Amino acid sequence: MKTDKLKKNTMQHPIILLLTAALLAGCGSKTNPTPTDAKIQWGKQDVAAVAFVGYFTYASDFLASSTYKIYTEQYGLQDVQLVENKGDEIYLVIPRDPKASVTVNDYPEALMTDPDSDDYGQILYKSEDGKPFFIKCSSAKGRVNTELLLIDSEGKGLTYHPQISTTDGTLACPSAMPEGEGTVIDITLPVPASQLPQETNRPDDNLSAFIRNGRVMVSVKQAAGSRNDGIYAIEGINGKCIGLFTGDIGQETNPFLCMLMDDGGVELLNYHSVMGWSDIEPGHLLSSGRLPEMTDIVSFVQKPVFDVFEGDTIGGYITVFAIDKDGKEHEIQECTRSFPSLYHFNPSGDGSTEEHVLTIWPDWKIEYRNGWHESERNEDYFGRIRPLKMDYENETYEYQYEMLTHTQYLSVEEDPVTKNISITGSFRLKERPGESGYELTVLSGPLTFGAPEDGSVRYRRDPEPDETCCLVPPVRQAWFFRIKNLYLWHEFDLLNRG
């Protein structure tokens, strides 16, 4: 194919390829290389090798993952660039010709239905040296959002949209191409088999879960709180899930979904964190991320653990153990100091009151938001948390956090804006007996949580300011109405009322 022909067909072939690929079960019929054989068995027409690596919502998670290491070592790659678009599907692209010209474009939805549309996407990546690269993009519900254009040094071209089959989750490839046009070879590494169930559904739980094409879905049986019934995709998983287990942790029913991933790692989702603490504290679908020190896991078991003192059993609880390939058991820990929202209030000079809210979930997630009490919301941070020090005797707990999303409420007339971020830091919580709260001290990181520099603040369970917080009565009030899904704000200053 000549270069001018490729340019001419750039807006014509994508829709044909997309429709063709949607009918395919994928490229699973091709022979994938084994983990010990990095040689690519190129076909005559192949101009690029592509692998569907897995699901990674956050680039930082992927670049630090064992999956990244496995693929780069498998194919002898170093310092491979990640090209980012919206979505959580990761693909590896290896051009056959080291002199190939490669362009990656955003692919607007309008082009899927109208190839003559003038809605062109921006260029995400361009190279003239045929270097391998990863793409982070989406083909959810059959809607691709990324286009790959490749021309080798002999003029052979390829237009390809990275996507997985909606039938079985394998890489979708065109089954045939016109003479002179390039093709794609699937180099996706095989996923380990697991004896664990592909779905879990305990009769007394309001949630069930199942695996769809390596992604974990949860089904809410009955609406509760702010969560409607229906099927939801778990967000933020790293890789491909190959098995599920549901068990309780604690002294009462407290379901945790344990997800076994393709590299032997484990991620969690607590059912309470999905449903939320209350109507005004909605839940989240974010996975815990990889649990530390959980490697080469093959199965799970739930069983009781008893505390023994001087030969007598004094208490116990139920928990879940992960079992590795050597049969060793590893206890899965929940965040033992999780809690519904804690509040810190700070009166300002004009009589209004800053409100800071901190929530820690049982499956190692954290939410921090701030704004004005009974008025505007400024911003939300949401991410994951890990323990640094748990001193139960002195009721002092230190945590490290990574905030993954930041939501800003620019004005009451505009919709909130959420962006993916990666902000890390740490803080200490010291329980204050008799005060139903904690003293929070920032140890590191950019977030202050409302604390002064080199100082501490008090967080309490009471959602209303107490006398020690708000000596000046608030003069700014707001009414918050919800009519269907439309939020209307009405705000006025009592001091200016005539």
For residue 159, what pLDDT is reported? 92
For residue 311, what pLDDT is reported? 74
Query: Could you say which DSSP state residue 227 is in?
Result: B
Mean pLDDT score, 390-405 = 94
- Structural contact between residues 234 and 226, judged by C-beta atoms closer than 8 angstroms: no
How would residue 472 be classed by pLDDT, with cut points 50, 70 and 90? Answer: very low
Amino acid, res. 273? S
Residue 470 has pLDDT above 60, yes or no: no
- Structural contact between residues 459 and 448, judged by C-beta atoms closer than 8 angstroms: no
How would residue 34 be classed by pLDDT, with cut points 50, 70 and 90? Answer: very low
In terms of C-beta density within 10 A (0-12 exposed, 13-18 middle, 19 or more buried), how is residue 252 classed?
exposed
Mean pLDDT score, 280-290 = 85
Residue 338: name the closest of 224, 422, 461, 420 by CA. 461
In terms of C-beta density within 10 A (0-12 exposed, 13-18 middle, 19 or more buried), how is residue 424 classed?
middle
Neighbours of 437 (CB within 10 A): 19
- Structural contact between residues 173 and 21, judged by C-beta atoms closer than 8 angstroms: yes
Q: Tell which wins on pLDDT, 169 or 467.
A: 169
Residue 350 has pLDDT above 90, yes or no: no
For residue 227, what pLDDT is reported? 87
For residue 27, what pLDDT is reported? 52
User: Cα torsion for 10, 15, 19, 24, to the nearest 10°?
Assistant: 20
For residue 290, what pLDDT is reported? 95
Counting residues of the chain whose pLDDT is more than 90, the rounded percentage is: 62
For residue 111, what pLDDT is reported? 72
DSSP secondary structure of 424-466: EEEEEEEEETTTTEEEEEEEESS--TTPPTT-EEEEES-SS--
Q: Tell which wins on pLDDT, 142 or 18.
A: 142
Residue 67 has pLDDT above 50, yes or no: yes
Tell me the per-residue pLDDT of 202-254, one tens digit each, with 9 for 90 and over. 999 999 999 999 999 999 999 887 788 999 999 999 999 999 999 999 888 89
- Structural contact between residues 141 and 165, judged by C-beta atoms closer than 8 angstroms: no
Q: How far apart are CA 180 and CA 193, in angstroms?
A: 39
The pTM score is: 0.81
For residue 319, what pLDDT is reported? 95
- Structural contact between residues 392 and 398, judged by C-beta atoms closer than 8 angstroms: no
For residue 223, what pLDDT is reported? 87
Tell me the per-residue pLDDT of 353-375, one tens digit each, with 9 for 90 and over. 999 999 999 999 999 999 998 88
Mean pLDDT score, 285-292 = 94
For residue 33, what pLDDT is reported? 40
For residue 490, what pLDDT is reported? 29
Q: How far apart are CA 186 and CA 164, in angstroms?
A: 11
Residue 173 has pLDDT above 80, yes or no: yes
For residue 113, what pLDDT is reported? 67
Token pair 């590795």 is at which residue? 324
Tell me the per-residue pLDDT of 83-128, one tens digit each, with 9 for 90 and over. 999 999 999 999 999 999 999 999 987 776 666 666 678 999 999 9
Q: How far apart are CA 250 and CA 320, in angstroms?
A: 10
Residue 285 has pLDDT above 70, yes or no: yes
Question: How many CA atoms, within 13 angstroms, populate the side-chain half-sphere of residue 205?
Answer: 23
For residue 115, what pLDDT is reported? 66
Overall residue count recorded for the chain in this entry:
498
For residue 97, what pLDDT is reported? 95
Token pair 């990275």 is at which residue? 162
